[in-house]
Amino acid sequence: GCILDGKLYPFGEIARTENCFRCSCSQDAMRCCSLFHTPTGYDKENCKVIFNKKSCDYDVVQKSDPSKECFVYSRV
């Protein structure tokens, strides 16, 4: 298998790792890509970015009230 972040994964396709990556594990290498997109366009003065491990994505919330989401107009 392949080891990623100290955890052993079997050879083949891994739909979702603990840290929100999709990977392919072979005897030669382990190739991974992220399941999330990083917010780049939002109100940086009044909002902050937090990672949501349950949804494997970033939430952008108000600094003053993290229960309220902010509008995001671009992600990469």
Which domains are delineated in the chain? 2-34 (no CATH), 39-75 (2.20.25.590)
Q: Give strand pairing partners of 52.
A: 57
> How would DSSP label each residue in 2-58?
EEETTEEE-SEEES--TTSEEEEE-SS-EEEEES---EEES-TTTEEEEEETTTTEE
Predicted confidence band of residue 23 (pLDDT cuts 50, 70, 90)? very high
| Alpha carbon 15 to its chain's center | 13
pTM value?
0.76
**33-63 residue pLDDT tens:** 999 999 999 999 999 999 999 999 999 999 9
